[in-house]
Structure 1
Amino acid sequence: MSASSTRPSYAAVLRMPHATRTFTAALLGRLSYGMVSLAVLLAVSRATGSYAVAGTVMALFGAASVFLSPLRAALVDRHGPHRALLPMAALYAGLLGTLAAATWRPGAPAAVLGAVAVAAGACTPPLGPTMRAVWGELVTDRRLLQRAYSLDGVAEELLFVSGPLLVGVVVRFAPPAAGVAVSGLLVGIGTLAFVTSPAVRSVAVQASRVRARTQMRKRMRMRMRIGGGLVQPVVVAAGVGLSLGAVDLLVLAFAEQRGHGDDAVAWIFAALSAGSAVGGLLYGTVEWRAGARTRLPALTAGVGLTLAVAGLAPGLVTLTVAVVCAGFFVAPALTTAYLVADETAAPGARVQAGAWVNTAVNAGISMGAAAGGLLVGRLPVGAGFALAGGAALLAAAAVGVGTRYPRVALPQEQEQEREREQEAGAVEQAR
């Protein structure tokens, strides 16, 4: 089925050969990431009796997972999903199983739990970036690719809403450590189903052929192009992450100052996710005339402005409306960042390009949470929202300038280069 012959809709994306099977398998594995944070936090706190230890273990796990993501993605680009993802998933699932066993009963040494958590985080399979790279190979029509990325982003948003709910179901019938074990099981099954999909196998074959012909003579040039092309999407992802990370604590402080409980805070967080999901779906259906690089600063500015205005809300209902409006821009901004990263990625480096954007948003969220902790109690909540929105506005201004960034190859130039590489490969085979 040709992408150009299909109606540009979400149904058309899922009708692409093997798309539904591949996407479902990736989502099954990625559901683990929606569960694991809460599951590890509960398991470690119950096993050690200390929230401080639980927070430290989670910080170590998150740091190893986030900051080593580009390295793991580079291994997928170099060796293909089958050869790279399966060992990572096996190690990750095994280490989560070890952590579950260690926290099943009280008395586990904190140092052991921290060491296992770091090792597990270091092995986290980059299923999200790899799936987006598969979308890039599977969907050749740029209009459909926008819808594919929007669908992927919305589904990921929903996973991080449903993951904690699934942990809540598990802990009703078993110790919290069982949630950690389930997380490992999900990523193992999901990764195995993902890499055995015909769509992923064909991408792996193409990647190995490109690597065999070009790895030695183009390695340095490829790295330079990746670095230049990723400046804009990485800056946007980090700015949006900073804003979102700070907003969590600001919402909590806003609710507490007005006498509302944790249930109200949970509804506001859910509203942000719902707004992001709706915004992502609507964004994917629009036929945009402006290019992705033009849309990127505008969408990021939308996140910043709406969050800054949210600090002026007189009550919880108004704040919820403002947060929903901010959510409308979150998924579209990140979807566009991934699109720009994919457009500028060198051949055989799509997973790594997406991983840099993913790393930037996660690192931004962590830094934003730390900054939010410093802001709350020292500044009025309204000023905190203004600063949180300012982070996204600053990122929008930075990518809006854009003229000083290193020149990157246009998609047409990259396509011409791929054609030249295919011709060179055919000559080599003829010899």
Structure 2
Amino acid sequence: MLARLGAISLSLSMILLLSMNYGSFALVGFLSATGLIALVVLHPWTARLTDRHGQGKVTAAAAGIAALSYAAFLACAHWKAPAWTLFPAYALAMGSSPNVSGMVRRRWAHLHDGSTRRAANAVEQVADELCFLSGPILATILVTSVFPEAGVLASGVLLVTGMLLFAGQRRTEPPADPAAGRRESSPLRRPSVWAVLMPYALVGILFGALDVTTVKHTTSMDSRSAAGVLLSMIALGSAISGLAFGKVRPRSEPRVPFIVSVAALAVLTCVPLAAARLLPDSLPAIGAAMFAVGIGTAPVIILGTSIVQACVPEARLNEALVWPSSAITGGNATGNALTGWIVDHAGDSSGYWVPVVVGPAALLAAYAGLALHRRTDDDCVAAEDVGV
């Protein structure tokens, strides 16, 4: 939980810090995109190392790199170094931290199967959302009430501490398999994985747009400190829906429920735009809209994770579980960069149009992935065997 909380609080801490020290949301958007692209590139490579050498060894080594990169970024931001110096420091800070959430899910897959595994996925989704709930609030309080660099500093301390504690948990660690890369093909060669990746990338754009637009909108209302609370409403809604969804066993295999869940999320992501247009000065209205988006989030993530776990051999599961996360992250990077430019040039709440446009595209991608997956059933175990 500590490592996840640190990683989740970094993005908003960076947005708030640089908007105060540099005053450019375009810079914030492109820097965020650079860091997230570094994460997308480095996380799968780290996951392959984890499959081959074990979670403990790789995580401990990554903790040292993360500590140094956080320190470099803080130094550049504090002394207002030239903007270009921020990019390599932040990219390394983002890319050096492994996907702890995916590694925990890998441990659950190693220890359990059947309905227990699906319940474990729901529990992990709730744990993620609790971090998403508290992370923005923590970041906002530290940056606005302590000092601008406090959010990034706390993020780094939490991340490195959590990584080291996780690396020490050897009892539940799945065994390393040095030959995994040679014996099993890449997860990206499985159509079932692509059936999840395509809609996940577009869902990431939705959330990247919501992050930047909400910070910009609250800043224009002279309520910058409310941004973290408003964004945390997404996590609160997702945590509640995750708890409820984890208790329900679907009657059909997961592909159709997955596309239905993406359709529901696409509809709900129109609510923030409606709230900003109808009640532009109402923070409670924006918060309620974010909560509505969160309600639609957990089913998409839980079902997508279940599909991947069902369709990829255990020896490559660390890497396989990184790719959906990387798809969301890559989409988030695109959403950050695109929306940062939009709100700087077209108005404070204009970024809320991005989810309205991208939502239907996510639904089309989910449907296309469903058709692709349906033609290649042979790479998955039966749905009832994995409890999805």
**TM-score normalised by the chain length of structure 1:** 0.74
Contact 1:48 1:109 in 2 (8 A): no
Q: 1:99 to 1:301 in 2, by over 3 A?
A: same
Contact 1:300 1:393 in 2 (8 A): yes
Distance 1:358 1:382 in 2: 23
Q: 1:306 to 1:353 in 2, by over 3 A?
A: same
Output the aligned Cα RMSD: 3.6
Is the deviation greater in 229-238 or in 314-323? 314-323
1:163 to 123, 130, 135: 135
**TM-score normalised by the chain length of structure 2:** 0.81
Identity of aligned residues (%): 26
What residue in structure 1 maps to residue 112 of structure 2?
139
Instruction: Show structure 1 runs of 5+ residues with no match.
Output: 1-26, 416-431
Q: How does 1:187-202 map to 2 (within 5 A)?
A: 187-201=159-173
Q: How does 1:11-410 map to 2 (within 5 A)?
A: 27-44=1-18, 53=27, 55-104=29-78, 106-140=79-113, 142-171=114-143, 175-201=147-173, 203=174, 206-208=175-177, 211-212=178-179, 215-216=181-182, 218-219=183-184, 222-223=185-186, 226-248=189-211, 268-308=230-270, 314-315=278-279, 323-372=290-339, 377=346, 386-402=356-372, 405-410=375-380
What residue in structure 2 maps to residue 10 of structure 1?
none
- Offset from partner CA, 1:360-411 (integer Å, 9 cap, x none): 1122223234455677749989976542331232233223323565454233
TM-superposed CA distance for 1:50, in Å, is 6.2
Q: 1:309 to 1:114 in 2, by over 3 A?
A: closer
State the one-letter code of the partner of 1:186: L
Is the deviation greater in 171-180 or in 371-380? 371-380
Contact 1:147 1:285 in 2 (8 A): yes
Q: From the CA coordinates, give the structure whose radius of gyration is larger.
A: 1
Q: 1:102 to 1:243 in 2, by over 3 A?
A: closer
TM-superposed CA distance for 1:124, in Å, is 1.9
Query: Structure with the greater relative contact order (CA < 8 A, sep ≥ 6): 1 or 2?
Result: 2
Distance 1:76 1:296 in 2: 29
Q: 1:47 to 1:248 in 2, by over 3 A?
A: closer
Residues matched between the structures, number: 376
SS in 1 for 2:97: coil
Q: 1:70 to 1:86 in 2, by over 3 A?
A: same
State the one-letter code of the partner of 1:115: P
SS in 2 for 1:61: helix
Contact 2:192 2:311 in 1 (8 A): yes
TM-superposed CA distance for 1:44, in Å, is 4.9
TM-superposed CA distance for 1:334, in Å, is 0.9
